[in-house]
Amino acid sequence: MMTNALWFLAGLAALVVGAEVMVRGGSQLAARLGVSPIVIGLTFVSIGTSMPELAIGVVSAAEGSGALAVGNIAGTNIVNILLILGLSAVLVPLALQMRTIRFELPFMALAALLMWLLSVDGVLSRTDGAILVACAVVYTAGVLWTARRESRQIAAEFADEFSAPEPSRTWLHVVMTVGGIAVVVIGAEWLVDGAVGLARGFGVGDALIGLTVVAIGTSAPELVTTVVSTIRGDRDIAIGNLIGSSIYNIVLILGVTCLVPANGLALPDSLVRVDIPIMVAVAALCIPIFLSGRRVSRAEGTFMVGAYLSYLVFVLTTQS
């Protein structure tokens, strides 16, 4: 048991460090290659902060732990919206950009609903994965199109955050990107092995481990980024990336994960009937909250954090 816990903690630390190094190196490398800063922030960084989920999903699927992979996706999105977004609003009331309300918000709700519809038969097949990946392509194309229409103020914020590096340091960013990806992959294997071992030791299912401990752990990059940017007062980019990461978790990360096993990902009833619907409800909950004055107040943030804690208690008492 202790060995599994150590592997889990080592894997979690490697995921957090690897994702941070990869995002920093990759975003600067993309800037060096002439990619628009706003595109880097809305696409590369959102995908980069989802790399832990991708690595865990692929490793879990390859090892026959599909419930852990899908539980991690559902759990991470619930953590992203209720816990991390809620905590951010508790610290400082959160003003939302119009593009988030008009584009990311409806796409996040539709992606969550699509995941639910595809999973109702208890299996996420390779065909389902191909559908999700196609949606990821559509979403990315939409991001690139809307990025061209952003205001100068928003574009300037992204330029400040993702400025081009000095030419002499390009090699360093290449090393950071490749090294970060390698650390994430290794960390995912350690974490999955440790998580599965802990689940077996405590007599609980892989889905429960994915929904709770693994989901909270792999959300660490988003949590740190959002809290730090809140304290600094530069939250527009972080919030946009948080919502974008939640979308990519479903359409890209889960889509690619579904392509790994030949027979698809078999899902336990608890995921299909309880946890995935709750994830859909959380995405739908954002619609009235986001539209009420285009902001998330401290009271709404407190409600969201409380809702997550209630969900956590519910999961631990009903699925353990």
User: What pLDDT score does 78 carry?
Assistant: 94
The residue assigned the tokens 């002439």 is 34
Alpha carbons 311 and 4: distance in angstroms, whole number:
26
Half-sphere exposure of 294 (CA within 13 A, CB side): 9
User: What pLDDT score does 170 carry?
Assistant: 75
Maximum C-alpha span of the chain? 56
Tell me the DSSP string of 129-152.
Answer: HHHHHHHHHHHHHHHHHHHTT--H
Enclosing H/E stretch for 119: helix 105-119
pLDDT < 70 stretches in the chain: 23, 27, 30-31, 33-42, 149-168, 221, 224-225, 228-238, 320
Which amino acid is present at 77? N
Say which CATH topology domain 2-164+171-319 has. A middle domain of Talin 1 (1.20.1420)
Q: How many of the other CB atoms lie within 10 Å of CB of 296?
A: 25
User: What pLDDT score does 155 carry?
Assistant: 62
User: What pLDDT score does 136 carry?
Assistant: 95
Percentage helix, strand, coil for the chain under 3-state DSSP, each rounded to 5: 85, 0, 15
Which amino acid is present at 154? I
Cβ-count burial of 317 within 10 angstroms (0-12 exposed, 13-18 middle, 19+ buried)? exposed
User: What pLDDT score does 100 carry?
Assistant: 78
User: What pLDDT score does 206 carry?
Assistant: 75
DSSP 252: I
User: What pLDDT score does 163 carry?
Assistant: 61
Q: Judge contact between 236 and 154, C-beta under 8 A.
A: yes
Tokens describing residue 55 = 């690595």
User: What pLDDT score does 129 carry?
Assistant: 96
User: What pLDDT score does 91 carry?
Assistant: 84
pLDDT in tens, 34-44: 666 556 666 77
User: What pLDDT score does 62 carry?
Assistant: 85
